[in-house]
Amino acid sequence: MTDHIGKILIPSGLTLITGGARSGKSSLALRIGQNWGQQVHFIATASAGDDDMARRIENHKSERPDDWETTEAPLEVASAVAEVPPNSLLILDCLTMWTANMLLSGAETGRIEDEALRLSSEIVERESPSIVVTNEVGLGIVPDNELSRQYRDLLGRVNQSVAHNAAQTLFACSGKVLRLENIEDVL
């Protein structure tokens, strides 16, 4: 199944939307969902660790239509995906927070990478399209502490493993979007 939503072609399987903070990733995912015209199921991975994050989460919730189903899954994302009705458009926002949650919960990087593969496999098996949002955090300076460097590198590997199974990957930057190609397809 392939559908057009505006100028964006939404193929069956996985569409990964990546980019920097405040680049338009989540806004694009929301607009795709609002224009879908059928059932939408949203999986949120953020958890409020402080007042600022709580406000951000509430802001995101207020942007979603009331008729969307929402599952909050800060850690067990693959299991949450398995529970989404097969005919619903799935929006998962975001891998960035999920990876941080897993790392800060004490999960080993190998386990997180394995879970990302499991998640990706679960998504590509779905009947309806899926949109996954994640941040590209590797475009900035090298972090000055070990945990931040570990997180940046881990998220880069998680993003690559999910993007590998994506039918399409979109890069958002300053409210603009580019379609990305697989490295294998350009060599």
60 part of the active site: yes
For the chain, domain boundaries: 2-186
Instruction: Note the pLDDT tens digit of each residue in 30-43.
Output: 999 999 989 999 99
Sequence-distant (6+) residues with CB within 8 A of 119 are 77, 78, 81, 162
Write the Ramachandran bin of 140: left for phi over 0, alpha for psi from -120 to 50, otherwise beta: beta
Coil vs helix vs strand at 13: coil
**Catalytic residue of the set 4, 41, 60, 164:** 60
Average pLDDT, the chain: 92
pLDDT band, residue 160 (cuts 50/70/90): very high
pLDDT exceeds 80 at position 3: no
User: Domain 2-186 falls in which CATH fold?
Assistant: Rossmann fold (3.40.50)
